[in-house]
Chains A and B, each alone.
Chain A
Amino acid sequence: MRPFHYERPRALEEAIAGKTEASRFLGGGTNLIDLMKYDVERPASLLDLNRLEGLREVERDREGTLRIGALVSNADAAAHPLVREHHPLLADAILAGATPQLRNMATMGGNLLQRTRCYYFYDRLTPCNKREPGTGCPAKEGVNRIHAILGTSEHCIATHPSDMCVALAALEAVVVVRGPSGERRIRTEDFHRLPGDAPERDTTLDAREVVTAIEIPARLYGRHHTYLKLRDRLSYAFALVSVAVTMEMQEGRVSRLRVALGGVAHKPWRVPEAEALLEGRGPEEARFGAVADRLLQGARGYGHNDFKIGLARLAIARALHQAAAATPQSHVAKRIA
């Protein structure tokens, strides 16, 4: 860890005013402190947001939009009655990730900003374009079991490791951010970005902006949802492949389908055309494969992760089945519904 200046801004405005390219906001610290110890993150200063007021609320407005403050812990969000009642998918996805200890620490805002688990990114003695632009990406021909199969670039094949964000993508959540020029709202799918030729950038957030809340529009999917996560051990492991589904039903037909994939790309992966394949029809299992194929169109493996294409296809079909059958995957019982 490099020496840094530690500050506790008293107000959000003060935090934003004090933010520079070289400083970092400190929320739960579960990823930032981790990466600072590995000498991957080297902030000149930390702006500790934990004392700020007004970022810890969970509220629901008259339109039914759920607003979760950026400093609400993952644990509190997953346990919150409003979240459990209106967006159980979000609670399930959060609980599928990390551990009780980490969820107690990690914040909603921080989870959005967590960085990849790519082995090379974490190991400062190896090249990595995300960590040190221009040094190369050894993962492409190296150990890439956990790497991306969709939306990769020649510069980076890292994945976004969050479970929560996959659910947010399926929920079409909006990230509320505040910067020197005021507030803006970013759709989750626009919040995270693909690596392209700037893999060092994970999101479209400006260096001086801070996440203040996550807003989730009202959706009436009832129990027609699931977060299905496949991983290398049954808990405390990142997703090889995960699938978040919300399936709104009207008179036996799918009125709105949202499917997001985790563990396969630099951002939660959604393909509206794939979702449209089921909309307006009954949830026919026979069509699940087509949805999966459309979601995975253009997927390519890099060796060790070739299997993810086949696995994702199977997982999508099962997740759609779970959502259709209203048997969301439990994060406690490890038997897959």
Chain B
Amino acid sequence: MPDDLSPRGPETVALTLTVNGASHALRVPAWTTLLDLLREGLGLTGSKKGCDHGQCGACTVILDGKRVNSCLVLAARSDGSEVRTVEGLASPDGALHPLQEAFIKHDAFQCGYCTPGQLCSGVALLQEGHTRTEDEIREWMSGNLCRCGAYPNILAAILEVARKEGRA
């Protein structure tokens, strides 16, 4: 494959993006990922970079209703999209999402670094309805690694919310 190896800067791309209800008109370098745009561009550092390669799930956000690894989404590709991040889970008055409450109650995190991704993934999981059995939750949450090993507590938290919502 012929490489163009001459040192040069990136071109930029214009896009609009709605993040947690707020719309943004932006111009970003084409090589910017959604994760880096959220964090470095918009200062929304809740979404975490745990590997930058889709290997851990810490960067999970909900893009147009679906959970994705924001580290592998080019910002340019998300033009016109709606993004929900961990900062957008609680209601504007500060009331936590039931899953956030359940995470605290069940101690579903330790260091807290994978937590934003676990929460976004869990909120999407509840929507998807993949919470019928414990095995199903385990499998469908396996895209979010937790090095502290909070898995049993994450399961308990999701199960509690799923039961309350009649999804388990």
Contacts and interface: CB of A to CB of B under 8 A. Distances in A.
Contacts of A62: none
Interface stretch (A9-17, A158-166, A170-178, A329-337): A329-337
Given A99-B143, A100-B125, A34 B72 contact: yes
A21 B73 contact: no
Given A33-B72, A100-B121, A4 B142 contact: no
A255 interface: no
Contacts of A50: 77
Contact of A3 (B1, B11, B125, B135): B11
B74 A332 contact: no
B2 to A, nearest CB: 6
Greatest chain B CB density within 10 A among A48, A99, A200 is at A99
Interface residues of B, number: 42
A1 B31 contact: yes
B142 A99 contact: yes
B1 A42 contact: yes
Interface string A36-54: 1110001010101010000
Nearest to B10: A3
Contacts of B11: 3-6
Contacts of B124: 100
A331 B139 contact: yes
A57 B138 CA distance: 31
A334 B135 contact: yes
B89 to A, nearest CB: 16
A6 B13 contact: yes
A33 B30 CA distance: 12
A29 B77 contact: yes
A234 B10 CA distance: 40
A105 B72 contact: yes
B139 A332 contact: yes
B162 interface: no
Contacts of B101: none
B128 interface: yes
B54 interface: yes
A331 B121 CA distance: 19
B60 interface: yes
A324 B68 CA distance: 37
Given A50-B77, A105-B69, A6 B4 contact: no
Nearest to A35: B53
Among all A-B residue pairs, the 6 with the closest Cβ atoms:
A99-B143, A235-B142, A6-B30, A3-B10, A104-B66, A101-B143
Interface of B: 1-5, 8-11, 13, 30-31, 33, 52-54, 57, 60, 66-69, 72-74, 76-77, 121, 124-125, 128, 130, 133, 135-136, 138-140, 142-145
